[in-house]
Structure 1
Amino acid sequence: MLGGLFSQAGSTFNRVVKPRGSIEAGDDKPPSDTEPDDTSILDENEGSIITSLISQLRVGMDLSKVTFPTFVLEPRSMLERITDFMSHPDLIFGAEKFDNPEERFIRVLQYYLAGWHIKPKGVKKPYNPVLGEFFRCRYDYPDGSQAFYIAEQVSHHPPISAFFYISPQNHVSIVGELRPKSKFLGNSVSTTMEGENRVTLLGKPEDGEYVITMPNMYARGILFGKMVLELGDTCIAKNEKHGLFCDLEFKTKGFFSGTYNAIAGRVRQSSNDIGELSGRWSHVMEIKSTKSGQKRVLFDAVKDGQNVSPKWVLPEQQQEPNESRRLWAALTEAIQMKDMERATVAKTSVEDAQREQRRRREESGELHVPRFFEKVDGRWLPKLKVAKDPQEAVAAVQQWIFPSVVPRSPKPTP
């Protein structure tokens, strides 16, 4: 199939479209710290992105039905990619100990902003999860505390990924869902990231939820110029119990001026400004106090970006068939080996099996019931009631997510 796309489009368009990155293409030179695309696969095989996509694309079209070639794939599922936001837990652990609601709000912002710097080389797209697919992992922190994460594809049309992270001993719970919608815009692809993160500081239940929406994503330079991934538009963080809000703008670079990966935002309580956010999500982000004028660093991706909390995941042979790493194992291996023909076969195999399952459900009238999540008042929530006692909660979550795994003996926590 991939070869067919290349041959169809290549013969027609290679004669009239300049290669990506050419001077004629008007490359606007991304920053020096932007990693180059891994185009070795294209050079060795059949050409550029344009020759594989152009026959399918129309401006404004929904990309959910477009078959993306395997060389643009990041070798992990979107369900696993969401864990990037849990990479720096120290930024939010202990937030409930601050008496000032403003400080607790800023700590939640730190957690959220620190999740964006992790990205694959070049512009890559994670696998679209199939219905019923799930990813689970555990975090074992140096102080003996633990955290657990589970994400599940709860809907196929429209695509919805629900996720849940909890660290009972550190008094943090995060629930949310993502509903991505992608469109082709000519020389770029936009992905509208509908959905939200709902953070609860379990040690401060009176705060209620901290709710954060997502910016949109743009892959620039699809047909010509340098391929660059950008975050754009505005998202909102809010805690309604304390009247705290932040309008956070992810700025896309202008064609002739501007800076890549810039952010700007205002933190306010009701109508009163508290602080001003600035910086770059790939480098350093700061907040400036409206009262004192003092600045403090929220996150330094250059200095602290490598300090990512490791995930513990079951070995693939012990995973269930619809668990992300096992489900996509053949595709991941082929991508890592740069065997695009084999990768295409592996990707098609998973998608064909998904279509067959959907056909059988339609014929039988059977409805898919998610395993870990349920829809309550329009929001996807985990099918688990968490005990207030941290040790009881750890045991219950462990049994719910990893029922066949012998739990690790946790160290006593103060």
Structure 2
Amino acid sequence: MVSEEEKTRVVFLTKPLSLESESNGDYRAPNILKRVLSLFTNVRPGSDLTRFQLSPLFNIPKSQLQCFGECVYCINNDMLGNCNKGETPKDRFTAVVSWSISTLRPMIFGIAPYNPILGETHHASRGNLNVLLEQISHHPPVTAMHATDEKSNVEMIWCNHPTPKFYGTSVETEVHGKRELKLLNHGETYEMNAPKLLIKFLPVPWVNWVGENRIRCHETGLEAELYYGSSSLFGLRGNPRSVKGKIFDSSSLEILYEIDGQWDRTVKLKDVSSGKETVIYNAKESISGLKSPVVTDPKGVWPSESAVIWGLLSQSILNKDWGRAREEKKEVEEKQRELFREREARGETWAPKHFIVNYSKEGGWDCSPIHKWVPPAPISVPIS
């Protein structure tokens, strides 16, 4: 028996962020810089913005869960599969570095994804890679991700805790939480962090990934230090999306490779011993013209799916029906407050369905999946 809610349920998917995203005006409200600056009129520098409420005028029509997921499963080539195919530890490590760079996507100035509600999920597949995300905390916002490829014996576990702060002429978002990529056939686990997202308002508005990204494999002793940022103070000259770094042996500190390039163009790897240079990442080939996810099994889509929860709001934003968008966003938020009050009245503590969560002041947020493998999803990404 199909309920009335299921009959009217909207599963609405939008195109992924890609190399062309910045030139896309579909999501932008008029006079965006003026509107953005007006947001922070009464906000003190250094303020934590995790509880900051955004009008739909400043939302991209997708949840932060979908953005995290897309950076893993929306890609034109199988860079994740290449990590597993390397014959030597060095080959696999450089492939992991290349894949890590591919997870960066150009963000659009002046707009941000929806802050996911507690218990929201996003479940999508690309080929044999199945990805599941769940919002395991709302205040503060924390997202857990589990991705597996059972055929290639690859597993990924992320715990993302973004903390945006206002600094007068900029907003800096630090993404806390450990990220692990496991190549189970080789018994190797790669631990990594994420660079910061920096939004500058003045003198020129722009948004960019900045800071240090470290990748290490304890089993092989290989480690990488990558530095993302601008080639000038304000990003006015050169390419602001530079990446420089090195791969070295952590036991001897011997530098094996040097890395240099732009993550929105090409990145080269130089073998220090031989001087040979190789292009290890081409953004145009990997994240240009990405295909949108599609619903392959409408009945299998959970009510907690991002594309269901925010479907009507996303439609309103794309139609630039801002009055309807405000109503839809308010309805989602009010429903969450009501569920919170009901749990409090019953003395219940909410628990994630798909992850075991741990938190400590020393180690921060950590998560582990309940199931070994992520099942195929009702939402899939066509393979080029």
Q: Secondary structure at the match of 1:48?
A: helix
> Does 1:150 pair with 2:159?
no
Aligned residue type for 2:258: E
Shift of 1:333: 0.5
Aligned residue type for 2:246: R
Q: Write out per-residue CA displacement over residues 166-190 of structure 1, whole angstroms, 9 at most, x where no aligned residue.
A: 1111222111110000111112111
Structure-2 residue corresponding to 1:300: 282
Shift of 1:341: 2.0
Structure-2 residue corresponding to 1:212: 192
Q: Write out per-residue CA displacement over residues 174-225 of structure 1, whole angstroms, 9 at most, x where no aligned residue.
A: 11110000111112111111113200112212x2x1011000001111xx54
Aligned residue type for 1:65: R
Q: Of residues 254, 263, 266 in structure 1, which corresponds to 2:246? A: 266
In 2, the alpha carbon distance for the partners of 1:359 and 1:102 equals: 53
In 1, the alpha carbon distance for the partners of 2:311 and 2:299 equals: 10
Q: Percent identity over the alignment?
A: 24
Aligned residue type for 1:369: A
Higher mean C-alpha displacement, 374-383 vs 295-304: 374-383
Could you tell me the TM-score, scaled by structure 2's length?
Answer: 0.83
Q: Write out per-residue CA displacement over residues 266-288 of structure 1, whole angstroms, 9 at most, x where no aligned residue.
A: 10012110111111111111111
Do the aligned partners of residues 307 and 293 (structure 1) sit closer, same or farther apart at CA in structure 2, a change above 3 Å counting?
farther
CA contact (8 A) 1:137 1:314 kept: no
> Does 1:70 pair with 2:56?
yes
In 2, the alpha carbon distance for the partners of 1:163 and 1:309 equals: 21
Q: Of residues 348, 356, 364 in structure 1, which corresponds to 2:346? A: 364
Do the aligned partners of residues 316 and 125 (structure 1) sit closer, same or farther apart at CA in structure 2, a change above 3 Å counting?
farther
Q: Write out per-residue CA displacement over residues 285-312 of structure 1, whole angstroms, 9 at most, x where no aligned residue.
A: 1111111111111111124433647645
Aligned residue type for 2:218: E
Higher mean C-alpha displacement, 308-317 vs 230-239: 308-317
Shift of 1:120: 5.0
Structure-2 residue corresponding to 1:348: 330
Q: Of residues 159, 166, 170 in structure 2, which corresponds to 1:177? A: 159
Alignment of 1:391-410 (within 5 A): 397-398=374-375
CA contact (8 A) 1:213 1:235 kept: yes
Do the aligned partners of residues 55 and 162 (structure 1) sit closer, same or farther apart at CA in structure 2, a change above 3 Å counting?
same
In 1, the alpha carbon distance for the partners of 2:299 and 2:206 equals: 36
In 2, the alpha carbon distance for the partners of 1:94 and 1:46 equals: 41
Q: Secondary structure at the match of 1:169?
A: coil
Could you tell me the TM-score, scaled by structure 1's length?
Answer: 0.77
Q: Secondary structure at the match of 1:286?
A: strand
* Count, aligned residues: 349
Higher mean C-alpha displacement, 270-279 vs 55-64: 55-64
Structure-2 residue corresponding to 1:82: 68
Q: Of residues 20, 24, 30 in structure 2, which corresponds to 1:42? A: 30
Q: Write out per-residue CA displacement over residues 333-379 of structure 1, whole angstroms, 9 at most, x where no aligned residue.
A: 11100122221221122112112222222232211110111126963
Shift of 1:98: 2.8
In 2, the alpha carbon distance for the partners of 1:95 and 1:318 equals: 31
Structure with more helix by fraction: 1
Do the aligned partners of residues 343 and 120 (structure 1) sit closer, same or farther apart at CA in structure 2, a change above 3 Å counting?
farther
Structure-1 residue corresponding to 2:44: 58
CA contact (8 A) 2:190 2:217 kept: yes
In 1, the alpha carbon distance for the partners of 2:241 and 2:49 equals: 24
CA contact (8 A) 1:181 1:191 kept: yes
In 2, the alpha carbon distance for the partners of 1:384 and 1:215 equals: 29
Structure-1 residue corresponding to 2:183: 201
Q: Secondary structure at the match of 2:29?
A: helix
In 1, the alpha carbon distance for the partners of 2:40 and 2:290 equals: 38
Q: Of residues 218, 221, 245 in structure 2, which corresponds to 1:240? A: 218
Shift of 1:156: 1.6
Structure-2 residue corresponding to 1:6: none
Structure-2 residue corresponding to 1:130: 117
What 5-or-longer segments of structure 2 have no aligned partner?
A: 1-19, 360-364
Q: Secondary structure at the match of 1:93?
A: helix
Larger Rg: 1
CA contact (8 A) 1:94 1:170 kept: no
Structure-2 residue corresponding to 1:326: 308
Aligned residue type for 1:251: G
Structure-1 residue corresponding to 2:208: 230
Query: Once superposed, what is the RMSD of the aligned Cα atoms?
Result: 2.7
CA contact (8 A) 1:149 1:165 kept: yes
Structure-1 residue corresponding to 2:95: 107
In 1, the alpha carbon distance for the partners of 2:88 and 2:28 equals: 52
> Does 1:188 pair with 2:166?
no
CA contact (8 A) 2:244 2:259 kept: yes
Aligned residue type for 1:157: H
In 1, the alpha carbon distance for the partners of 2:203 and 2:73 equals: 33
In 1, the alpha carbon distance for the partners of 2:21 and 2:106 equals: 13
Q: Write out per-residue CA displacement over residues 239-269 of structure 1, whole angstroms, 9 at most, x where no aligned residue.
A: 0111111111111341265531111111001
Shift of 1:237: 0.4
CA contact (8 A) 1:138 1:312 kept: no
CA contact (8 A) 2:102 2:286 kept: no
In 1, the alpha carbon distance for the partners of 2:264 and 2:283 equals: 6
Aligned residue type for 2:273: K
Q: Of residues 265, 268, 272 in structure 2, which corresponds to 1:286? A: 268
> Does 1:98 pair with 2:86?
yes
> Does 1:382 pair with 2:369?
yes
Q: Secondary structure at the match of 1:148?
A: strand
In 1, the alpha carbon distance for the partners of 2:85 and 2:315 equals: 45
Structure-1 residue corresponding to 2:7: none
